[in-house]
Amino acid sequence: MSDERRKLDPSFWLALFFVVVIAVWVVTAATLDRDTRLFPWIVGIPAFALALRQLVADWRGVGAKPENGEPTPYPGILDISVDRTIPAEEIFRHTIRTAYWIVTFACGIWLVGFLITIPLFIFFYLINEANARKLPALIVAAGMALFVWILFDRVMHLAWPEPALFSLFGIKPKF
Amino acid sequence: MLDAIVAATGQIFTLSRLAWLLAGVLLGSVIGFIPGIGGRVTLAILLPFIVKMDPASALVLIVGIHAIGNTADTIPAILFGIPGSTSATATVMDGYPMAKRGEAERAMGASFLSSGMGGLIGAFTVLATIPMIRPLILTFGNPEFFMTAILAIVMIALLTGGAPTKGLVAGCVGLMIGMIGVAPQTGVQRWTFDQLYLSDGIPLIPIALGIFAIPELVDMTLGGAGTKIAANAQAASLSTKWQGVKDVFQHWWLLVRSSFIGSWIGILPGIGSGSAIWLAYGHAVQSSKDKDNFGKGDVRGVIAPEAANNASDAGDWCLTLTFGIPGSATMSLVLAAMVLLGLPAGPKMLTDHLDLTLVIVWSLVLANLMATGLCFLFARQLSGITKMPVHYLFPVLIVLIFLAAYQSTTDWGDLITLLGFSVIGISMKRFGWPRPPLIVGIVLQHLAETYFFLTTKLYGTSWLTRPVVIILFVLIVWTIVHAARRYARDKAAAKA
């Protein structure tokens, strides 16, 4: 068997994650009373067996093993199809970069709240990723902030989360 | 009955009532477009104002808001792959790939018309079944509800074709995620880790947005600055909403079948449109000879769930009105509105207030027509969004997704859930794990567990001999055999 054929199917790691999660679920359900654990076991035990089967299949590389030339990875999956023409490394780099922006936005919300983070995030994202000029970026950021403030704050009276930075300094924001 | 129909017709076809209906449709369209917000929030905002209205006008306004919500939630699903609500998750599967191919207008044309027609068929089905609705529902006991839930999960899990094991595991993981929180029958906390947020269960909206929306957004920006959703601008200019209309008429029989599936699921308490759409989608895949295009932008994957969605809505209304059982969160608000208006939701709506019930049926018909017309009118302008650079759309959509997730329970947990399930969603998409069974499992967990518990406690093993249970069991077996045969055939073809 060549090294290429031994290459682990990336699906293996997700299968492993599901096996571990389901195993924890099934084992911890044992501490519950009979009626409460019945359904978790009825679902969990066959699910564990199936996940284990998938894990073994991915370990053996059934899904990714090239038989005749280049295979189509994960054929026949009922889901939105993935563009396989882009190299995996590029997709990975892009995913990390996008995740960085999403996590930065989430951290911004945690630190200074939604209403301050939204215009800042939009402005800096447009400048850095869309190569937008400052004025259009500013207009989009301000427009979105205004829309969110009117709809979610003034109309819906959404209970905004208390920003960590404000709590630290004992500031009570009006929004 | 005939007198009530005449009275209801007289009540609805007045200038003021039609104006209220249009106002509801227009109001709903303003907010209904925003992912995760929809008609429920519009209704909640308006609830204090409708108390002083006369009951018929208030009901007409509510129906208007609700009807457009179910039609407009498709727009973000098709344009960005972001389900506007859980009942638009199935539309994402083929609607978004169509938009990427430059056929957003065609997808929207098909979707709006299917929604409208589905709503009409649903309303007329409900109207026709009102006299026999009680015995019809009573044929479904706890065992039948349980088997319906299992059928839905098995059908979606096994439709994954190339990976039945992955589909079943995803469905089971969905069921197990749904079990987090207080057990419905014993009140014992399961896997809540002493977190108050988890005791009520994880809300569905942040999960659905994390599983479907974020992975699509990540992929959307893959091409770098200047990329557009519709990569093929030529196709975008050729594909029109009229092509979508033609598609609906070409697949009219699928539309009718999906509408009946939706109507029936809508009438059954607790199942709701979140399951109806997947059952209809699964039926479309299963009943098609050429299944390969599903998930890649097959218009039938848009027609079936959209028709079922609006058709189930009519059934949902019927259930809320005649039994006082709300089938969804929005319907709970409708029930609250009825209480505020002094209307007794329950069997009296079929006797003392039959005219009002029929006003609602009429309103559903007209609101669906208005909503379809309105969305149809702006289909071209809306599809133009797919020609905008995605890097301008991305930050705006991320903001809307975070807000939609946060407004579920206004807890930090919503945002953590969104981020956590985004990682799972991205991994599932990349590594060929189907995402629909996970969502269907979560949607149906409460129903499946509750009815399983009641079935085993009340019937022992005798429930296995009930005729409807046997029919549903045969359907489940047939689905499994069908999937196994298809899997074996595909495997043999790959080897050849």
CA distance B369 to B377: 12
Instruction: Specify whether the CB–CB gap between B389 and B225 falls below 8 A.
Output: yes
Nearest CB to B162 within list A77, A102, A132: A77
Q: Is the pLDDT of residue A86 over 90?
A: no
Share of chain B above pLDDT 70, in %: 91
Question: Are residues B394 and A29, on separate chains, in Cβ contact within 8 Å?
Answer: no
Residue that is written with structure tokens 């109806």 in the block: B276
B116 and B74 in contact (C-beta within 8 Å)?
no
Question: What per-residue confidence (pLDDT) applies to A58?
Answer: 87
Q: What is the pLDDT of residues A49-58, one digit of tens each?
A: 999 999 998 8
Contacts with A, B 285-304, CB within 8 Å: 285, 294-296
pLDDT at B1: 67
Taking the CA of residue A83 and the nearest CA in chain B, the distance in Å comes to 9
Q: Which residues of B touch A121 (CB under 8 A)?
A: 395, 398-399
Q: Looking at chain B from residue 413 to 472, which residues have their Cβ under 8 Å from any Cβ of chain A?
A: 415, 419, 422, 426-436, 448-449, 452-453, 456
Read off the DSSP letter of residue B159: T
pLDDT, residue B77, reads 87
The pLDDT score that the predictor gives to residue A71 is 43
Residue bearing tokens 């205004």:
A146
Neighbours of B362 (CB within 10 A): 22
Which pLDDT score is estimated for A110?
Answer: 94
Identify the weakest region by mean pLDDT among A80-89, A105-114, B270-279, B292-301: A80-89
What's the rounded Cα separation, in Å, for the pair B424 and B434? 11
Q: How many helices (H) and strands (E) does chain A have?
A: 7, 0
pLDDT digits (tens, 9 = 90+) for B96-123: 888 888 888 889 899 989 988 898 888 8
pLDDT of residue A148: 92
Is residue B182 helix, strand or coil? strand
pLDDT per residue as tens digits for the range B59-92 = 888 888 887 777 788 888 888 888 877 788 888 8
Residue A72: is its pLDDT beyond 60? Answer: no
Helix (H) or strand (E) holding B194: none
CB-based contacts of A22, cutoff 8 Å, min separation 6: A44, A47, A48, A51, B172, B173, B176
pLDDT at B3: 76
pLDDT at B154: 85
Mean pLDDT of chain B: 83
List the single range of B303-307, B353-357, B421-425 with lowest mean pLDDT. B353-357
User: What 8-state DSSP symbol labels residue A162?
Assistant: P
Q: Is residue A48 over pLDDT 90? A: yes
CA-CA distance, A137 to A126, in Å (whole number)? 6
Distances (CA, A) of B386 to B38, B74, B103: 21, 14, 9
Least confident piece of the model among A75-84, A134-143, B24-33: A75-84
Using alpha carbons, list the distances in angstroms from residue B328 to B261, B263, B269, B335, B444.
17, 15, 9, 10, 13
* Chain A residue with minimum CA distance to B495: A67
Tell me the CB-side half-sphere exposure of residue B495, using CA atoms within 13 A: 7
What's the pLDDT at A67?
44
The predicted pLDDT at position A70 comes to 43
| Residues B359, B56 contacting (CB under 8 angstroms) | yes
Confidence of residue B321 (pLDDT cuts 50, 70, 90): confident
Confidence of residue B5 (pLDDT cuts 50, 70, 90): confident
Describe chain A by its helix, strand, coil percentages, rounded to 5. 65, 0, 35
A141 vs A11: CA distance, rounded Å: 39
CB B311 within 8 A of CB B119: yes
Interface of B with A in 32-71 (CB under 8 A): 34, 41, 45
Q: Comparing C-alpha atoms, which of B142, B141, B144 is closest to residue B469?
A: B144
Q: For residue B434, what are its two tokens?
A: 């189907």
Say which of B160, B221, B431 has its CB closest to residue A11.
B431
Average pLDDT over residues A15-36: 93
Which neighbouring-strand residues pair with B389?
Answer: B228
How remote is the C-alpha of B379 from its chain's centroid?
Answer: 21
What pLDDT score was predicted for residue A98? 92
What is the reported pLDDT for B253? 94
Q: Select from B228, B222, B405 the least CA-distant residue to A97.
A: B222
Q: State how far the Cα of B167 lies from the Cα of B169, in Å rounded to an integer.
A: 6
For residue A24, name the pLDDT band (cuts at 50, 70, 90): very high
B102 Ramachandran zone, left/alpha/beta (phi>0; psi -120 to 50)? left
Give the confidence band of B302 by pLDDT, cuts at 50, 70, 90: very high
pLDDT at B283 (0 to 100): 87
Instruction: Give me the pLDDT at residue B479, please.
Output: 83
Cα(A141)–Cα(A118) distance, integer angstroms: 7
Q: Which residue has the higher pLDDT, B457 or B346?
A: B457
Nearest by CB to B221, from A33, A36, A98: name it: A98
Residue A16 has pLDDT above 90, yes or no: yes
Q: What is the pTM of this model?
A: 0.82
Least confident segment among A38-47, B283-292, B400-409: B283-292
The answer to whether the CB of B404 falls within 8 A of the CB of B205 is yes
Identify whether the C-beta of residue B100 lies closer than 8 Å to the C-beta of residue B320.
no
pLDDT confidence band for A141 (50 / 70 / 90): very high
The predicted pLDDT at position A1 comes to: 44
Average pLDDT of the segment spanning B454-480: 89
For the ranges A122-136, B282-296, B297-311, the lowest mean pLDDT is seen at B282-296
In angstroms, the Cα distances linking B219 to A93, A99, B127, B208, B213 are: 12, 11, 45, 17, 10
Of A33, A130, A158, the CB nearest to B188: A33
CA distances (Å), origin A55, targets A14, A17, B169, B375: 9, 10, 11, 46
